[in-house]
A and B are shown apart, each in its own frame.
Chain A
Amino acid sequence: MAGFWLMTSATYLSVEHEQNKTLKDEFFKRLLDPTRSKLWKFAFYLFRYIQLLVLLTLFLFGEQHIDLLPNLVYICAFVVYTTYERLYRKSSKLLIVFLALQILGQYFFGLKYHMFVEHPEEMKHVAWLGLTRCHAYSQDNIQTKTPKQLEHMCSDKSSTFYTPTFPTWIAEKDGKPSSIYFRQLPFWQDVLVLIIMSALHQINHFYNNQREVTQTAARVYDLIRQDEESGKKGGEKSTNYVYVVIRILNFLEKNIKFVCIGLMLYYTAMAQTNIITSIFFG
């Protein structure tokens, strides 16, 4: 309650200091300040394409269970947003909305599971939607099996990322909740991904203006280069690792097509040689 009263006062403050703009201004101020740490400059380059790293990670984790809706969405998001960066800049909120709906659905399932557990087909749909990680929660199983047996039925040892959460309502025999405390455990992975997506959306505000980003990137690169050159003139051995890393990142950014062609040739060499792979990679 006190927190919500604080939010009332924060309403006026948020009008005075627009949060996204404040964070962006502060970041750019630190970025172009020669006295600040070089890590800010490195962060600028890292944050620019960090969404690809996150989506790639989700893609790799979801690859094992591709038949689930969340994994399909992550894979599609990775493919589309890697191809069209500007689309990501405009629509990064979609992933947050999707995850919000997922978590809301999971909570709703925790409250109203009686509506689904009696129908195995519906339970399969619920599992496909990602609202539960196991569709062995049928009414019969709940009535006849012990919680440990059900847990064993639902545990999938092949995946460490999607270890199913075991709801506490399994112990209810008469269909009535014995306690309202911690009945539905959250899927921590989804909560974590939501927080990461929210952070990515916040970072996305820094890079919305393409022209500003290009100009800033050039200025940051010049600052780092000047720093490197002044160090060399002074006769000191260069220890500016940020300069080296940024040069590599710049090289990758400019020549990403050659990297892709190289990867394609590698996979062509590794793949079975037949007409289909030749047409596909051609």
Chain B
Amino acid sequence: MITANLKKDFKKQVDKGDTAAAIAAKEVYKQKKSRFNKKSKFQKMKAGVNRYLPFLVMWSMRAMVGLQAYMYCNAFGLLHITWVLLSFCLPNNVTFFISSVFMIPIYTFEFCMVYLGQSHFVRQHAWFQQLGGPTFAREFKYPLLE
């Protein structure tokens, strides 16, 4: 709408024969148009990212979770590598669904247990032992990284 009005304004100035005003209107029109073009470029980029984002997210998560599985070789590592391998075998939509429904709660639980396992007070409680606490209550070998 704005560019259309500017274009009309420019035509009016040309019809009137006011050259200076016409040039000024043209400049304003050009500036506005370039701004709109920039916006459309951004929109195009956004559409492109949206199109390939699932693909990128999937591969980056495969790499990260796979590395984590080999870094921490325990029962949860087996679960992590199972997810990585399932992501190769199952269709993408199913993998995304599994990740959203199962992996986020599992990761949350794992994170909480590792965090609580650092506390000497929590480690002594029976409920922590029953939830498999000793698996998580470990000293960090790479504390900065972890």
Contact = CB atoms under 8 A, between A and B. Distances in A.
B99 interface: yes
Contact of B81 (A7, A103, A182): A103
A19 B92 contact: yes
Interface in A98-118: 100-101, 103-104, 107-108, 110-111
A153 B138 CA distance: 34
A104 B82 contact: yes
Interface residues of A, number: 41
A260 interface: no
B97 to A, nearest CB: 6
B53 interface: yes
Given A13-B50, A13-B53, A107-B81, A184 B73 contact: yes
Contact of B104 (A1, A107, A191, A198): A1
B88 A10 contact: no
A107 B77 contact: yes
Contacts of B75: 111
Contacts of B100: 4, 7-8, 11
A10 B85 contact: no
Nearest to A169: B73
B96 interface: yes
B89 A93 contact: yes
B141 A14 contact: no
B114 to A, nearest CB: 12
Contacts of A181: 71-73, 141-142
A27 to B, nearest CB: 13
A144 interface: no
Nearest to A7: B99
Contacts of B52: 22
Contacts of B70: 182, 184-186
A16 B49 CA distance: 13
Q: Which 9 A-B pairs have the closest CB atoms?
A: A183-B73, A100-B85, A11-B96, A10-B54, A14-B54, A7-B99, A8-B100, A3-B61, A10-B57
Given A3-B60, A11-B100, 19 more contacts: A1-B107, A1-B108, A3-B61, A7-B96, A7-B99, A8-B96, A8-B104, A10-B96, A11-B97, A14-B93, A19-B92, A93-B89, A96-B89, A100-B85, A104-B78, A107-B78, A180-B77, A184-B73, A198-B88
Interface of B: 50-55, 57-58, 60-61, 64-66, 69-75, 77-78, 81-82, 85-86, 88-89, 92-93, 96-97, 99-100, 103-104, 107-108, 111, 138, 141-142
6 contacts: A10-B57, A11-B54, A11-B93, A11-B99, A19-B55, A180-B73
Interface of A: 1, 3-11, 13-17, 19, 22-23, 93, 96-97, 100-101, 103-104, 107-108, 110-111, 177, 179-186, 191, 194, 198
